A = this chain, B = another copy of it.
C-alpha cells in the first residue's frame, strides 16, 4: 500500500506538527530540545521537505506577516498527514547501519601508542556522566512540566532510554579501563607496521 520509505524526515516533521501548528524554524528548535538526543533535522532538509509535504497534501501553509516578526509560514497537519503519520508509526523502524568510531579504535587498540585508547575511554566516560545527569534532569522536567499531556508517558520512556544507555556505557568504560591497566598496548617490541606473520 505504502510506497517504500527511504528516510523519515517527512514523518518526523509530521510528528512535531501533530502537537501544534508551527513554522519550519520552530520545528527545528522544537526538535533540538525535545528529540535532540536521538533525532534532529537541519534546515537544508526541513524546508524542501515542507514544500513537498504541501504538494502531497499532508500539510497546509498559512503565511503570517506584519505582526512585528519577519514573515513566517505556519504549517498545519491535514487529516491525510495524520493518517500518514499513523501508518508510519505502525511499521517497523529500519535497522540502522552501526558505526562507532571509538569502538573501531578500541578494536585496533594494540596498534596504538600506550595509553592512547585508555585516555579516550576516560574522556568518553566523562562525557557520558554529563549526559546521564542531563537525561535525569530532562526526565524530572518531563514529569513535572507535562504531567497532564497525553504524550508524557512516551516522552518519559525516551528519557529513560538515554539513562539506561548512559549507565551501561559508563559501566563498560569502567570495566574496560580496569582491564587496560594490565594490557599496555605496544609498549615495546611491536615497532614495525610492516606486519610480520601474525594471523
Contact = CB atoms under 8 A, between A and B. Distances in A.
A104 B120 CA distance: 29
B79 A108 contact: no
Contact of A86 (B103, B113, B199): B113
B98 A37 contact: yes
B35 A149 contact: no
B77 A157 contact: no
A38 B98 contact: yes
Interface string A39-74: 110000000000000000000000000000000000
A39 B104 contact: yes
Given A21-B195, A198-B149, A90 B116 contact: yes
Interface of A: 8, 11-12, 15, 17-21, 34-35, 37-40, 76-79, 81-83, 85-86, 88-90, 92-94, 96-113, 116-117, 120, 123, 149-151, 153-155, 157-158, 160-161, 164-165, 167-169, 171-172, 175-176, 179-180, 183, 185-186, 190, 192-195, 197-199
27 contacts: A19-B198, A20-B197, A20-B198, A38-B99, A38-B103, A82-B193, A82-B194, A83-B193, A85-B193, A89-B108, A89-B111, A89-B112, A90-B112, A92-B123, A93-B104, A93-B105, A96-B99, A103-B161, A106-B154, A107-B155, A108-B154, A110-B153, A164-B171, A164-B172, A165-B172, A167-B168, A168-B168
